[in-house]
Structure 1
Amino acid sequence: MQTDDFAVRRAVDSDAASVAAVWLRSFTAALPSVRRAHTDHEVRSWFREVVVPGQETWVATAEGSVVGMMVVDGESLDQLYLDPAWQGRGIGGRLVHLAKQLRPAGLALWTFQVNEPARRFYERHGFVVAEYTDGRHNEEHEPDVRYVWRPGAHDQG
Protein backbone atom coordinates (compact mmCIF):
# COMPACT_ATOMS: atom_id res chain seq x y z
CA MET A 1 0.00 0.00 0.00
CA GLN A 2 1.66 3.21 -1.19
CA THR A 3 0.91 6.48 0.58
CA ASP A 4 2.24 10.01 0.45
CA ASP A 5 0.94 10.88 3.91
CA PHE A 6 4.44 11.28 5.33
CA ALA A 7 7.26 13.79 5.21
CA VAL A 8 11.03 13.30 5.17
CA ARG A 9 13.40 15.73 6.88
CA ARG A 10 16.73 15.92 8.70
CA ALA A 11 16.47 14.73 12.26
CA VAL A 12 16.91 17.23 15.10
CA ASP A 13 18.07 16.50 18.63
CA SER A 14 14.51 16.31 19.93
CA ASP A 15 13.85 13.38 17.54
CA ALA A 16 16.44 11.12 19.19
CA ALA A 17 14.05 9.26 21.51
CA SER A 18 11.59 8.63 18.68
CA VAL A 19 14.36 7.52 16.32
CA ALA A 20 15.63 5.06 18.92
CA ALA A 21 12.10 3.76 19.52
CA VAL A 22 11.62 3.10 15.79
CA TRP A 23 14.99 1.30 15.65
CA LEU A 24 14.12 -0.86 18.67
CA ARG A 25 10.62 -1.79 17.41
CA SER A 26 11.90 -2.54 13.91
CA PHE A 27 14.91 -4.59 15.02
CA THR A 28 12.77 -6.62 17.44
CA ALA A 29 10.12 -7.34 14.80
CA ALA A 30 12.48 -8.04 11.89
CA LEU A 31 15.25 -9.92 13.67
CA PRO A 32 13.80 -11.93 16.55
CA SER A 33 16.53 -14.57 16.25
CA VAL A 34 19.44 -12.09 16.27
CA ARG A 35 21.11 -11.44 19.60
CA ARG A 36 21.23 -7.69 20.22
CA ALA A 37 24.64 -6.45 21.32
CA HIS A 38 23.24 -3.56 23.40
CA THR A 39 20.45 -2.99 25.90
CA ASP A 40 17.49 -0.73 25.10
CA HIS A 41 19.03 1.91 27.38
CA GLU A 42 22.35 1.76 25.52
CA VAL A 43 20.58 2.02 22.14
CA ARG A 44 18.61 5.07 23.31
CA SER A 45 21.78 6.73 24.64
CA TRP A 46 23.63 6.00 21.39
CA PHE A 47 20.92 7.66 19.30
CA ARG A 48 20.65 10.61 21.70
CA GLU A 49 24.38 11.24 22.20
CA VAL A 50 26.02 10.02 18.96
CA VAL A 51 23.74 9.34 16.02
CA VAL A 52 21.22 12.17 15.87
CA PRO A 53 23.55 15.02 16.91
CA GLY A 54 26.61 13.81 15.02
CA GLN A 55 25.57 11.84 11.97
CA GLU A 56 23.50 12.59 8.89
CA THR A 57 20.22 11.29 10.24
CA TRP A 58 16.92 11.57 8.37
CA VAL A 59 13.41 10.81 9.60
CA ALA A 60 10.11 10.05 7.97
CA THR A 61 7.19 11.46 9.92
CA ALA A 62 3.49 10.72 9.68
CA GLU A 63 0.58 11.70 11.88
CA GLY A 64 2.98 13.77 13.99
CA SER A 65 5.32 10.86 14.79
CA VAL A 66 8.64 9.52 13.55
CA VAL A 67 7.82 6.33 11.61
CA GLY A 68 11.13 5.76 9.82
CA MET A 69 14.78 6.65 10.13
CA MET A 70 17.91 6.56 8.01
CA VAL A 71 21.57 7.38 8.60
CA VAL A 72 23.92 8.12 5.72
CA ASP A 73 27.62 8.23 6.57
CA GLY A 74 29.99 8.84 3.69
CA GLU A 75 29.18 6.18 1.08
CA SER A 76 27.40 4.03 3.67
CA LEU A 77 23.70 3.68 4.23
CA ASP A 78 24.29 2.82 7.89
CA GLN A 79 20.78 2.56 9.24
CA LEU A 80 17.37 2.22 7.61
CA TYR A 81 14.56 1.20 9.91
CA LEU A 82 10.80 1.63 9.70
CA ASP A 83 8.18 1.23 12.37
CA PRO A 84 6.66 -2.18 11.57
CA ALA A 85 3.16 -0.66 11.40
CA TRP A 86 4.32 1.67 8.63
CA GLN A 87 6.12 -0.79 6.37
CA GLY A 88 4.82 -1.38 2.86
CA ARG A 89 3.70 2.22 2.34
CA GLY A 90 6.58 3.53 0.23
CA ILE A 91 8.49 5.15 3.08
CA GLY A 92 11.55 2.92 2.81
CA GLY A 93 11.68 3.42 -0.94
CA ARG A 94 11.51 7.18 -0.50
CA LEU A 95 14.35 7.08 2.03
CA VAL A 96 16.50 4.95 -0.31
CA HIS A 97 15.74 7.34 -3.17
CA LEU A 98 16.87 10.24 -0.97
CA ALA A 99 20.07 8.38 -0.03
CA LYS A 100 20.82 7.88 -3.72
CA GLN A 101 20.24 11.59 -4.38
CA LEU A 102 22.55 12.48 -1.50
CA ARG A 103 25.25 10.05 -2.67
CA PRO A 104 24.93 9.94 -6.47
CA ALA A 105 28.31 8.21 -6.89
CA GLY A 106 27.05 5.14 -5.04
CA LEU A 107 26.19 3.56 -1.72
CA ALA A 108 27.03 0.48 0.28
CA LEU A 109 25.26 -1.13 3.22
CA TRP A 110 25.28 -4.19 5.45
CA THR A 111 22.33 -6.29 6.52
CA PHE A 112 22.05 -9.64 8.23
CA GLN A 113 21.77 -12.67 5.97
CA VAL A 114 18.68 -13.86 7.89
CA ASN A 115 16.84 -10.61 7.10
CA GLU A 116 15.25 -11.82 3.87
CA PRO A 117 12.66 -9.02 3.64
CA ALA A 118 15.39 -6.37 3.86
CA ARG A 119 17.51 -8.22 1.32
CA ARG A 120 14.61 -8.38 -1.15
CA PHE A 121 13.89 -4.68 -0.54
CA TYR A 122 17.47 -3.61 -1.26
CA GLU A 123 17.69 -5.84 -4.34
CA ARG A 124 14.44 -4.31 -5.68
CA HIS A 125 16.10 -0.92 -5.28
CA GLY A 126 19.14 -1.81 -7.36
CA PHE A 127 21.59 -2.96 -4.68
CA VAL A 128 23.69 -6.01 -5.53
CA VAL A 129 25.53 -8.42 -3.24
CA ALA A 130 29.21 -7.59 -2.93
CA GLU A 131 30.25 -9.82 -0.04
CA TYR A 132 29.02 -12.37 2.50
CA THR A 133 30.66 -12.72 5.91
CA ASP A 134 30.39 -15.11 8.82
CA GLY A 135 29.60 -12.25 11.23
CA ARG A 136 32.84 -12.27 13.16
CA HIS A 137 33.28 -8.52 12.50
CA ASN A 138 29.88 -7.29 13.70
CA GLU A 139 28.82 -6.87 17.31
CA GLU A 140 26.02 -9.42 17.04
CA HIS A 141 28.34 -12.07 15.52
CA GLU A 142 25.60 -12.73 12.97
CA PRO A 143 26.40 -13.65 9.35
CA ASP A 144 25.84 -10.60 7.21
CA VAL A 145 25.89 -9.45 3.62
CA ARG A 146 27.27 -6.27 2.08
CA TYR A 147 25.31 -4.65 -0.73
CA VAL A 148 26.41 -1.92 -3.11
CA TRP A 149 24.54 0.40 -5.44
CA ARG A 150 26.17 2.26 -8.29
CA PRO A 151 24.22 4.59 -10.55
CA GLY A 152 23.15 3.20 -13.88
CA ALA A 153 23.07 -0.58 -13.63
CA HIS A 154 19.82 -2.00 -12.23
CA ASP A 155 18.78 1.36 -10.83
CA GLN A 156 15.14 1.62 -9.83
CA GLY A 157 14.99 4.95 -8.06
Structure 2
Amino acid sequence: MSIRTARLEDATDIATLLLATRKACMPYAPLAHSDQDVRQWVRDVLLPSGGVNVLRDGDHVLGFVATRSQPGEAWIDQLYVHAGQLRRGVGSRLLLHVLAHLPGPICLYCFQANRGARAFYERHGFEAVAFSDGSTNEERCPDVLYVLP
Protein backbone atom coordinates (compact mmCIF):
# COMPACT_ATOMS: atom_id res chain seq x y z
CA MET A 1 0.00 0.00 0.00
CA SER A 2 1.21 3.49 -0.75
CA ILE A 3 -0.01 7.05 -0.23
CA ARG A 4 0.51 9.65 -2.91
CA THR A 5 -0.94 12.91 -4.15
CA ALA A 6 -4.09 12.25 -6.14
CA ARG A 7 -3.96 12.78 -9.88
CA LEU A 8 -6.69 13.56 -12.37
CA GLU A 9 -6.62 9.95 -13.53
CA ASP A 10 -7.71 8.95 -9.99
CA ALA A 11 -10.99 10.88 -10.32
CA THR A 12 -13.15 7.92 -11.33
CA ASP A 13 -11.78 5.68 -8.57
CA ILE A 14 -12.14 8.40 -5.93
CA ALA A 15 -15.71 9.25 -6.95
CA THR A 16 -16.68 5.57 -7.07
CA LEU A 17 -15.25 5.01 -3.58
CA LEU A 18 -16.94 8.13 -2.18
CA LEU A 19 -20.35 7.16 -3.61
CA ALA A 20 -20.14 3.52 -2.55
CA THR A 21 -18.94 4.35 0.97
CA ARG A 22 -21.61 6.98 1.50
CA LYS A 23 -24.33 4.58 0.38
CA ALA A 24 -23.00 1.63 2.43
CA CYS A 25 -22.01 3.43 5.62
CA MET A 26 -24.14 6.57 5.84
CA PRO A 27 -27.72 5.77 4.83
CA TYR A 28 -28.92 8.45 7.28
CA ALA A 29 -27.20 11.15 5.17
CA PRO A 30 -28.49 10.93 1.61
CA LEU A 31 -26.33 12.64 -0.95
CA ALA A 32 -27.49 16.12 -1.86
CA HIS A 33 -26.30 15.62 -5.46
CA SER A 34 -26.68 13.01 -8.16
CA ASP A 35 -23.94 10.43 -8.71
CA GLN A 36 -23.08 12.16 -11.98
CA ASP A 37 -22.73 15.53 -10.21
CA VAL A 38 -20.48 13.97 -7.56
CA ARG A 39 -18.26 12.44 -10.24
CA GLN A 40 -18.02 15.78 -12.02
CA TRP A 41 -17.27 17.61 -8.74
CA VAL A 42 -14.43 15.19 -7.92
CA ARG A 43 -12.93 15.63 -11.39
CA ASP A 44 -13.49 19.37 -11.88
CA VAL A 45 -13.34 20.82 -8.34
CA LEU A 46 -11.91 18.50 -5.70
CA LEU A 47 -8.82 17.25 -7.51
CA PRO A 48 -7.82 20.55 -9.13
CA SER A 49 -8.07 22.29 -5.73
CA GLY A 50 -5.16 20.19 -4.46
CA GLY A 51 -4.66 18.70 -1.03
CA VAL A 52 -6.02 15.27 -1.99
CA ASN A 53 -4.08 12.11 -1.19
CA VAL A 54 -4.97 8.53 -2.07
CA LEU A 55 -3.97 5.27 -0.46
CA ARG A 56 -3.62 2.64 -3.14
CA ASP A 57 -2.95 -1.06 -3.08
CA GLY A 58 -1.81 -1.81 -6.58
CA ASP A 59 -4.61 -0.78 -8.90
CA HIS A 60 -7.15 -0.21 -6.13
CA VAL A 61 -7.90 3.02 -4.26
CA LEU A 62 -8.62 1.95 -0.67
CA GLY A 63 -9.14 5.45 0.69
CA PHE A 64 -8.58 9.15 0.17
CA VAL A 65 -8.29 12.32 2.22
CA ALA A 66 -8.80 15.94 1.14
CA THR A 67 -7.35 18.81 3.15
CA ARG A 68 -6.93 22.56 2.98
CA SER A 69 -4.97 25.08 4.99
CA GLN A 70 -5.64 28.70 5.74
CA PRO A 71 -3.89 31.09 8.10
CA GLY A 72 -4.26 29.84 11.66
CA GLU A 73 -5.89 26.47 10.93
CA ALA A 74 -6.17 23.50 8.61
CA TRP A 75 -9.19 21.44 7.63
CA ILE A 76 -9.81 17.83 6.76
CA ASP A 77 -12.70 18.16 4.32
CA GLN A 78 -13.03 14.53 3.23
CA LEU A 79 -11.71 11.24 4.55
CA TYR A 80 -13.24 8.14 3.01
CA VAL A 81 -12.21 4.50 3.29
CA HIS A 82 -13.54 1.68 1.15
CA ALA A 83 -16.28 -0.02 3.21
CA GLY A 84 -14.48 -3.37 2.94
CA GLN A 85 -11.31 -1.86 4.43
CA LEU A 86 -12.79 -0.30 7.57
CA ARG A 87 -10.86 -1.00 10.79
CA ARG A 88 -7.82 -2.26 8.89
CA GLY A 89 -5.58 0.78 9.29
CA VAL A 90 -6.35 2.55 6.01
CA GLY A 91 -7.99 5.56 7.66
CA SER A 92 -5.25 5.79 10.30
CA ARG A 93 -2.52 5.74 7.65
CA LEU A 94 -4.23 8.52 5.70
CA LEU A 95 -4.88 10.59 8.82
CA LEU A 96 -1.35 10.24 10.18
CA HIS A 97 0.01 11.17 6.75
CA VAL A 98 -1.87 14.47 6.64
CA LEU A 99 -1.31 15.25 10.33
CA ALA A 100 2.43 15.14 9.65
CA HIS A 101 2.03 17.86 7.01
CA LEU A 102 -0.74 20.16 8.24
CA PRO A 103 -0.30 23.11 10.57
CA GLY A 104 -2.50 23.09 13.66
CA PRO A 105 -5.08 23.40 14.83
CA ILE A 106 -6.79 20.91 12.53
CA CYS A 107 -10.57 21.00 12.19
CA LEU A 108 -13.17 18.73 10.63
CA TYR A 109 -16.89 18.11 10.62
CA CYS A 110 -18.45 14.69 11.10
CA PHE A 111 -22.08 13.60 11.16
CA GLN A 112 -23.23 12.99 14.72
CA ALA A 113 -24.76 9.67 13.65
CA ASN A 114 -21.41 8.43 12.30
CA ARG A 115 -20.36 6.73 15.53
CA GLY A 116 -17.50 4.82 13.91
CA ALA A 117 -15.90 7.94 12.45
CA ARG A 118 -16.42 9.87 15.68
CA ALA A 119 -14.68 7.16 17.71
CA PHE A 120 -11.88 7.07 15.11
CA TYR A 121 -11.22 10.81 15.36
CA GLU A 122 -11.46 10.80 19.15
CA ARG A 123 -8.91 7.93 19.32
CA HIS A 124 -6.58 10.17 17.32
CA GLY A 125 -6.91 13.08 19.75
CA PHE A 126 -9.63 15.17 18.14
CA GLU A 127 -12.01 16.90 20.55
CA ALA A 128 -15.68 17.61 19.88
CA VAL A 129 -16.12 21.36 20.34
CA ALA A 130 -19.53 22.14 18.81
CA PHE A 131 -22.68 20.29 17.82
CA SER A 132 -25.22 21.56 15.28
CA ASP A 133 -28.65 20.59 14.01
CA GLY A 134 -27.30 20.16 10.45
CA SER A 135 -28.98 23.26 9.08
CA THR A 136 -25.68 24.45 7.57
CA ASN A 137 -24.71 21.28 5.69
CA GLU A 138 -26.13 20.06 2.39
CA GLU A 139 -27.46 16.81 3.85
CA ARG A 140 -29.28 18.58 6.71
CA CYS A 141 -27.89 16.01 9.15
CA PRO A 142 -26.77 16.97 12.66
CA ASP A 143 -22.99 17.29 12.76
CA VAL A 144 -20.15 17.83 15.17
CA LEU A 145 -17.10 20.04 14.81
CA TYR A 146 -13.86 18.37 15.88
CA VAL A 147 -10.56 20.11 16.56
CA LEU A 148 -7.10 18.70 17.10
CA PRO A 149 -5.33 21.45 19.05
Does TM, normalized by the shorter one, top 0.5? yes
Structure 1: 4+ residue segments shifted above 3 A: none
Quote how far apart the aligned CAs of 1:105 are.
Answer: 2.1
Quick one: distance in 2 between partners of 1:124 and 1:25? Answer: 25
Paired residues of 1:109 and 1:147 also in contact (CA < 8 A): yes
Q: CA deviation at 1:106?
A: 2.4
Contact 1:59-1:66 at 8 Å conserved across structures: yes
Q: Distance in 2 between the 1:134 and 1:11 partners? A: 33
Note the residue ranges of structure 2 that are not aligned, 5 or more in a row.
none
Is structure 2 residue 6 aligned with structure 1 residue 34? Answer: no
Instruction: Answer yes or no: is the 8 Å Cα contact 1:68–1:82 preserved in 2.
Output: yes
- 1:59-94 Cα offsets, whole Å, 9 max, x none, are 000131111010011110000001111122111101
Decide whether the 8 Å contact of 1:100 with 1:106 is kept in 2. no
Bigger shift: residues 6-15 or 96-105 = 96-105
For 1:105 and 1:118, the matched residues in 2 are separated by: 20
Shift of 1:40: 0.5
Where 1:70 maps in the other structure, the secondary structure is: strand
The residue that corresponds to 1:46 in the other structure is: 41
User: How far apart are residue 8 of structure 1 and its match?
Assistant: 0.5
Q: Contact 1:128/1:147 (CA < 8 Å) preserved in 2?
A: yes
- CA–CA separation in structure 1 for the residues paired with 2:145 and 2:24: 21
Extract unaligned runs of 5+ from structure 1. Answer: 1-5, 151-157
Aligned length: 145
Q: Secondary structure at the match of 1:49?
A: helix
**TM, length-normalised to structure 1:** 0.89
Distance 1:72 1:117 in 2: 20
Identity, in percent, stands at 37
1:33-67 CA distance string (max 9 Å, x none):
21210110010000000101222100000131111
TM-score, normalised via structure 2 length: 0.94
- Which position in structure 1 is the counterpart of 2:128? 129
Per the alignment, residue 19 of structure 2 pairs with 24
